[in-house]
Structure 1
Amino acid sequence: MAPTVKEHHAQRRQALLDAAKESLLNPSIRSVNFEAVGPRAGLRRNSVYLYFPSENHLALELAEDVLPGYQEQLVAAMKRHREPREQITGYAKAIVSPDARLAHEVLRNLENRDRTPEIAAKVKEYYVELSRPIVEPLKALKMTDPETTAVLLFTMLSSTQDVTEKVVDAKAGPRRALAIVDMIVPKG
């Protein structure tokens, strides 16, 4: 029990966000919908509307809750290295790590929603923002069009977990993705 109505409301919203995370990581659900999230947070489906006006709003707020921390992980993985190529490799390893699964599920959930202009713009914004850390290392390596290259690398790497689950071996997928990065990123 929260001491104020405002704090109670904030606690319920957080419980719904936590339930949405659990739903995304559950192989039998893997989406953010009120039917799955409400009961996990101790609410009836209709009560979720008191906290989020739509499933899209919940999905967007979940992205705002998860993705900044994910980007910090990517940057931290890069900061362990000095050379641009090693920074890119550190970034790539962080993306294909099992620890990144929630962030990838959050992105995939947004991509699979109704493509309203708001959702489409946010998906684009997230991909650009999450790829931004490797733009400078790519520039240092004299890569052509480093901004586009960064987005393409991020997209390829972030899809590795989904493809790995559906098509290739769980260990071979990330290993092969890292080998592809090694092949295309120029040696300093």
Structure 2
Amino acid sequence: MPKIEAGSVREHRAQRLARLIDAAEALLDEGGVEALTAGAVAARAGIARNSIYRYFDSIDDLLELVVSREFPAWTQAVEQAIAAETTPEAQAAAYVRANLEQAARGTHGWRAALSRGSLSPSARERVRSLHTSLREALARVVRELGRPQPELTVAVLQAVVDACIRRIDQGDELTTVSDFAEDATHRLLAPTTGQDFPGHT
């Protein structure tokens, strides 16, 4: 049995995979996708080149791991924010706020750019499915409101989140963007009547 560097084989594999992803991120930061080769990743991580493919099948798979690395923690943060609230309206606002807080941590912008420009179509689709699963948390909250057009409501709220994340990626202050997004969320979810819409008869 090969020597392991942790208390268990599982921990050993997790630590090595983390080193490989760290190495890939450093190479991407220094030289872009062109710098990401098997030899360079192995050398940076201090792992034999013939061993790295025990952890991923190709450089494209490694790119996908880089792009999706923060997704479990992001999802957990959003779900915890939702669970901390007791009404659907507050939970929807928590979904919006938590997503923006995660985006403001500083790495979303370049990961998103990498996803758009460097992943294979199949990898891009798998990353898209992760985002779809996250949006299901919002869909559940909106369905609890019991109002008409729940799918449209989810689409509009997600559009607010996506637009505000882009503003954060461009350098806008989190507090300013988050306040705007939460206000927009509350306005969208506030009970309305036909008289609230100009021209409605």
> TM-score normalized by structure 2?
0.65
Q: Deviations over 1:53-104 (max 9, x none)?
A: 4332113234554322321211110111111000111111111115764673
Of 79-88 and 63-72, the range deviating more from structure 2? 63-72
1:95 aligns with 2:99: yes
For structure 1, list consecutive stretches of 5 or more residues without a partner in the other structure: none
Match of 2:77 in 1: 73
Matched ranges for 1:103-142 at <5 A = 104-105=108-109, 106-116=111-121, 118-142=122-146
Match of 2:45 in 1: 41
Q: Kindly indicate whether the alpha-carbon contact (under 8 Å) linking 1:32 and 1:58 is maintained by their aligned counterparts in 2.
A: no
Q: Percent identity?
A: 18
Count of residues in correspondence between the two structures:
182
- Partners of 1:98 and 1:184 in 2: how far apart? 23
For structure 2, list consecutive stretches of 5 or more residues without a partner in the other structure: 193-201
For the pair shown, the structure with the greater C-alpha radius of gyration is 2
RMSD over aligned Cα, in angstroms? Answer: 4.0
CA 1:100–1:150: 2 relative to 1, 3 Å:
farther
- Partners of 1:153 and 1:185 in 2: how far apart? 10
Question: 2:22 aligned to 4, 15, 18, which one?
Answer: 18
Q: Kindly indicate whether the alpha-carbon contact (under 8 Å) linking 1:63 and 1:107 is maintained by their aligned counterparts in 2.
A: yes
> TM-score normalized by structure 1?
0.69
1:82 aligns with 2:86: yes
